Amino acid sequence: MPNLMPRQPKNIVILISGSGSNMAAIVRAAQAQHWQQQFGAHVAAVISNRPDAAGLQLAQSLGVATQVLSHQAFATREAFDAALMALIDTHQPALVVLAGFMRILTPAFVQHYAGRLVNIHPSLLPAFPGLNTHQRALDAGCTEAGCTVHQVTAELDHGPMLAQAAVPVLPGDSADTLAARVQMQEHLLYPQAIRDWLRSAACR
């Protein structure tokens, strides 16, 4: 039996702000697909900038360590990002995953994790960067909506795309019904995109 375990462990740190359903989809995929044995990868920590994020309990229930760093404890965006970097780096991450993380990150942060920082955005980028994507897609009369996994760069929601999934916009859709349809795809797409990334990283 060859030992397929790479020498370098690939720690994954997931940043959240809210319910953490994408985080949970990634953790469940990592467990079910044995990312540890396959790629030497495991989710080392889930970090929230909001102490009340429901995703923290969800992560704990899945057996993942959680940490909170409230942005409200910092006077500037730069100070928060510097503290966040220091916390993340205690885990020596191969990959940092934004999963419903709602703070715009400074260029210094993005630079520090260049090539190992990814996000899932709830639109078919380059359409609708920024917030309120579902209402904006409805207002624009789009017949398709979806989600995009992309590398994070200093320009918001403009980094290189890694994967995309589309869903139809249906008659009578509200922002909520459309968001729910898109999120079902997010929960499939994001774990798959990370698995693809780990697989290619394993050969480097």
Can you tell me the distance from the alpha carbon of 188 to that of 174, in angstroms, rounded to the nearest whole number?
Answer: 22
Among 12, 43, 99, 125, contact with ligand GAR (rule: CB under 6 A): 99
Among 186, 191, 192, 195, contact with ligand GAR (rule: CB under 6 A): 186
Among 103, 112, 136, 181, contact with ligand NHR (rule: CB under 6 A): 103
What the block records as the tokens of 44 is 């080392």
42 touches ligand NHR by CB under 6 A: no
Contact 123, 102 (CB under 8 A): no
Contact 145, 125 (CB under 8 A): no
Can you tell me the distance from the alpha carbon of 126 to that of 4, in angstroms, rounded to the nearest whole number?
Answer: 38
Contact 87, 10 (CB under 8 A): no
Residue 1 CB partners (closer than 8 Å, separation 6+): none
Alpha-helix residue ranges (DSSP H) falling in the chain: 21-32, 35-39, 54-61, 77-89, 107-112, 133-139, 175-202
Subset of residues 109 to 128 that bind ligand GAR, contact rule: CB under 6 A:
120-122
18 touches ligand GAR by CB under 6 A: yes
Subset of residues 113 to 132 that bind ligand NHR, contact rule: CB under 6 A:
119, 121, 130-131
Region binding ligand GAR by CB under 6 A among candidate stretches 1-9, 18-26, 71-79, 168-176: 18-26
Q: Which entry of 34, 91, 112, 121 is annotated as an active-site residue?
A: 121
Subset of residues 22 to 41 that bind ligand GAR, contact rule: CB under 6 A:
22
Q: How far is the CB of 120 from ligand GAR (least distance, A)?
A: 5
Can you tell me the distance from the alpha carbon of 39 to that of 41, in angstroms, rounded to the nearest whole number?
Answer: 5
Angle subtended at Cα 42 by Cα 181 and Cα 39, rounded to the nearest 5 degrees: 100
Subset of residues 80 to 99 that bind ligand NHR, contact rule: CB under 6 A:
98
Q: How far is the CB of 67 from ligand NHR (least distance, A)?
A: 18
Binding mask of the shown chain, residues 50 to 89, with x at each position contacting ligand GAR by CB under 6 A: -----x----------------------------------
Q: Is 42 a catalytic residue?
A: no
C-alpha distances (whole Å) from 175 to each of 115, 138, 139 are 32, 7, 10
Active site residues: 121
Q: Which residues bind ligand NHR (CB under 6 A)?
A: 98, 101-105, 110, 119, 121, 130-131, 152, 154, 156-157, 159
